Amino acid sequence: MRTQVGIVGAGPAGLTLGRLLERAGIESVVLEDRTREYVEHRIRAGVLEQGTVDLLREAKVADRLDHEGIVHSGIHLQFDGERHRVPLADLAGDRSIVIYGQTEVVKDLIAARLESGPPLLFETPVESVDPERGVIHHAGGELECDVIAGCDGFHGVCRSGIPEGVLTVFEREFPFGWLGILAQVAPSIDELVYTHHPRGFALLSLRSAELSRYYVQCDPDESADDWSDDAIWEELRVRTALDGWRLEEGPILEKGVTGMRSFVAEPMQHGRLYLVGDAAHIVPPTGAKGLNLAVADARTLAEALIDWYGGNGDDHLRSYSQKCLRRVWRAEQFSYWMTTMLHKLSDDAFEQRLQLSQLRYVTSSRAAATSLAENYVGLTTMA
Ligand SMILES: Cc1cc2nc3c(=O)[nH]c(=O)nc-3n(C[C@H](O)[C@H](O)[C@H](O)COP(=O)(O)OP(=O)(O)OC[C@H]3O[C@@H](n4cnc5c(N)ncnc54)[C@H](O)[C@@H]3O)c2cc1C
């Protein structure tokens, strides 16, 4: 089998890339390890930057997003018994975020691809890739390609297809994780609340008018099964308590623990292989950047391939890694900053005082709040 672009992985990166190539008349085959059902129900991110929404609209996969997505023009930071609103849109040139689950983005992209026809092969695990020859070895045989897009996430096989000594890896593991729940209850507040508390971080988020997504900082090795529903609600109540406000509770539909890591592998290209999204980089979820970075990489690669197939040379393909990494490192810094400002890092009272001072500064200085807002909605200068 032969194609122009072989895409490994049907997550947000691979599906977005496939859609952009399809619209430009470039052939691709997407190979995905899991079933459609599994991929469509893997609950992860839910905050879309303005640039991600704009791209999905251009790619004509945003009809449902435009109906069901919830536009937020602010977030709240809570600490020391106070809750402060950061007016994102006012501070960041009218740019805002949209709440729309990653599951829904993936469903829309899969539906669009299956309707229009280019191959999307589920339950087809890729075993290895040859970046020099442009060959993908998968369970059903070999796929020869001009270009391989490694969109197979952090645990995929594409990154390890790059010969030893080529990649430099930068990594930070955090000594805590997030216990996340999806609860069948209307959100208790209409925008996200990031909470700093002596017992640890908590985040109040949502997926729809009927579904709330809440998180509490926990040990990274804990099992979600060790937490009873009552214990989770109690912890959320304590950490987010505020005079005159009440956290509404409901049935917990799903719970899980996610570890927190910063990771970047440089460069993001070797031979005919281009790494896209989590295959090349991971951010802790505090800045809501993972999904947005994956989509931005896909756009950068699609634009470079459109140029190349259009006979306009390979300058953009050559600069793919450099261009992506500039945005990736900005997101790494922002996510690291949000993570270390909001989580309980230790029992060190000095450190906690510094965090509180930083939070007070961000919520009282327009310049500091603007910096947070610009990064949170996505910097246009990094587009
Ligand atoms: C538990 C969890 C919670 C998260 N929460 C948030 C959040 O709240 N906010 C946020 O912004 N980000 C969050 N993220 C990060 C965000 O979900 C990712 O950044 C995003 O999914 C990256 O998309 P991707 O397409 O690069 O990779 P993935 O979504 O990981 O997709 C990779 C795809 O490749 C497939 N694959 C893997 N190996 C192979 C193989 N050998 N052959 C074929 N296919 C293969 C996988 O099955 C998968 O479908 C979270 C991540 C996790 C793991």
Index of the ligand 1 atom closest to the CA of residue 278: 26
β-pairing verdict for 47-49 and 70-72: unpaired
CA distances from 214 to 200, 206, 224, 278 (A): 14, 7, 13, 23
Predicted local distance difference test score (pLDDT) of residue 247: 97
d(CA 263, ligand 1 centre) in Å? 14
Assess whether 376 carries a catalytic annotation.
yes
C-beta 278 within 6 A of ligand 1: yes
Predicted local distance difference test score (pLDDT) of residue 378: 93
- In the chain, which stretches have pLDDT less than 70? 382-383
Per-residue pLDDT reduced to its tens digit, 25-58: 999 999 999 999 999 999 888 999 999 999 999 9
C-beta 324 within 6 A of ligand 1: no
Q: Please pick, among 197, 284, 285, 320, the residue that the annotation labels catalytic.
A: 285
* Dist CA 318 CA 222 (whole Å): 43
Q: Please pick, among 289, 320, 323, 343, the residue that the annotation labels catalytic.
A: 289
For ligand 1, atom 21, which residue shows the shortest CA distance?
A: 291
Predicted local distance difference test score (pLDDT) of residue 43: 85
* Dist CA 3 CA 27 (whole Å): 6
Ligand 1: which of 152, 206, 274, 281 to mutate, judged by most atoms within 8 Å of the beta carbon? 152
Index of the ligand 1 atom closest to the CA of residue 287: 11
Predicted local distance difference test score (pLDDT) of residue 51: 94
Q: Enter the tokens of residue 375.
A: 């990064």
Predicted local distance difference test score (pLDDT) of residue 383: 54
C-beta 287 within 6 A of ligand 1: no
Index of the ligand 1 atom closest to the CA of residue 13: 25
Assess whether 344 carries a catalytic annotation.
no
Predicted local distance difference test score (pLDDT) of residue 44: 87
Predicted local distance difference test score (pLDDT) of residue 382: 62
Index of the ligand 1 atom closest to the CA of residue 125: 42
Q: DSSP secondary-structure letter at 100?
A: -
Predicted local distance difference test score (pLDDT) of residue 356: 98
pTM of the model: 0.96
Q: Are 298 and 109 in contact (CB under 8 A)?
A: no
C-beta 8 within 6 A of ligand 1: yes
Predicted local distance difference test score (pLDDT) of residue 380: 79
Ligand 1: which of 52, 254, 291 to mutate, judged by most atoms within 8 Å of the beta carbon? 291
C-beta 294 within 6 A of ligand 1: yes
Assess whether 87 carries a catalytic annotation.
no
Assess whether 323 carries a catalytic annotation.
no
Assess whether 38 carries a catalytic annotation.
no
Q: Where are the beta strands (DSSP E) in the chain?
A: 2-8, 28-31, 47-49, 70-72, 75-79, 82-86, 97-99, 120-121, 126-130, 135-138, 141-150, 168-183, 193-195, 202-206, 212-218, 252-266, 269-270, 273-275, 281-282
Per-residue pLDDT reduced to its tens digit, 178-237: 999 999 999 999 999 999 999 999 999 998 889 999 999 999 999 999 999 999 999 999
